[in-house]
Amino acid sequence: MIKEYASKGLKPKFTIAELKKAGVNFNTTLNEKSPAQIIELEGDNLTETYIGFHNFYVITTYNRNVMYALSVILLGQKIQSTVN
């Protein structure tokens, strides 16, 4: 089911509410009407799945590389968890 909602582009095409209604489980404090997307990154032996929000899309307007945007997001989360 998630494959149907995996993003082919960089701009979110669904809302948080639509993804949750489709059975995608994730936690967020964002409004249910906020844009969201499923991002699947395929490696040699596994596929990693992430939920991207508007901030992910904004980062990709600076650099269109999905791995760059994901690195920025993950680094920010690590810094935030260390500070808190």
Four-point Cα dihedral 8, 10, 11, 16, nearest 10: 70
For the chain, where are the alpha helices, taking DSSP H only?
Answer: 2-5, 16-21, 54-62, 66-83
Q: Are 28 and 1 a contacting pair, CB within 8 Å? A: no
What is the CB-side half-sphere exposure of residue 58 using CA atoms within 13 A? 6
pTM summary value: 0.80
The domain total for the chain is: 1
Look at residue 3 and tell me whether its pLDDT is greater than 80.
Answer: no
pLDDT tens digits, one per residue of 13-52: 999 999 999 999 999 999 999 999 999 888 889 988 999 9
Among all chains, which residue has been given the structure tokens 């059975």? 23
> What type of residue sits at position 61?
T
* Mean pLDDT, the chain, integer: 91
**Residue 63 sits in which domain range?**
2-83
Share of the chain above pLDDT 70, in %: 99
pLDDT score, position 58? 94
